[in-house]
Amino acid sequence: MSDSSAPFGQAKYQVRFDWGAAGAERILPGAHVAVVVDVLSFTTAVVAAAERGVPVAPWPAGDAAGAAALARRLGGVVAGRRGEPGPSLSPTSFAGAEAFDELDGPVVIPSPNGGAIAAGLAERGLVVLAGALRNRTAVAEWILALQSERGERTIVAIVAAGERVTSASEAIRFAIEDQLAAGAIVDALVGLGIDHTSPEAAVACAAFEGLRHATTHLIGASGSAVELVEGGFRGDVRFASERDASRVVPELRDGVFRA
């Protein structure tokens, strides 16, 4: 059901918001743009890679053979484990541009949350963007430019990845960082006049507006961040918490995110 009678489809609104792959399916009908938000860490890593000119191919976690086959087909490499030398799901692994000078193809980054959602949207016939706190205003401006180019209202589906409860379950838990970043993108869209928001998107926006001065602290104190810090990746949390630090907008084209 894709019309306005679908109770959870938000189809009457221009800016929509939901969680996870199932939420994406609810709000995608009729949308022109999907913005995937997985702050800790997939979409932040995609933005960091794009800042260095490195393309990224999303892939679901848990399918090493599939990731390797995709890398061979694209002439790229599969990201390593977080903390190992070279590119990984860690956004700060892309800090040194010289480390990627010899890469001929994209980095395939397996991810259970944002990567899996993005990979599932690759063949859906709509524009797919990687959104994060770092590029939230740039994403909104990109969408406004697209709307101007199209000459008609552009419908935006913002999908917060959340965190898989277990690797074997499709259930996801609420993630503070994704709520705030999704709300920050809605806030930027509203500021540009794209303000016909669903109640779900409006609530996410209000959460960001009310807490914008505390986002760094709140994300740093979240369960996702605490887990990363305990693993030795405090730098990733700090990097992902920076707001409007990037003008890069990675777009998924032919299965690969490129700036």
Amino acid 170: pLDDT = 74
Q: Which of 130, 127, 95 is nearest to 113 (CA)?
A: 130
Residue 59 amino acid letter: W
The mean pLDDT of 147-152, rounded to a whole number, is 97
How long is the chain?
Answer: 259
Amino acid 98: pLDDT = 58
Tell me 5's DSSP state.
Answer: T
The residue extents of the domains of the chain are: 15-258
Model confidence pLDDT, tens digit, residues 29-42: 999 999 999 999 99
CATH, range 15-258: 3.90.1560.10
Tell me what the pLDDT averaged over the chain comes to.
Answer: 94
Rg of the chain taking only CA atoms, in angstroms: 17
Amino acid 201: pLDDT = 98
Under 8 Å CB-to-CB from 22, ≥6 apart: which residues?
Answer: 170
Under 8 Å between Cβ of 201 and 158: yes
Amino acid 4: pLDDT = 47
Q: Does the pLDDT value for residue 255 go beyond 60?
A: yes
Model confidence pLDDT, tens digit, residues 62-108: 999 999 999 999 999 999 999 998 899 999 999 865 556 667 799 99
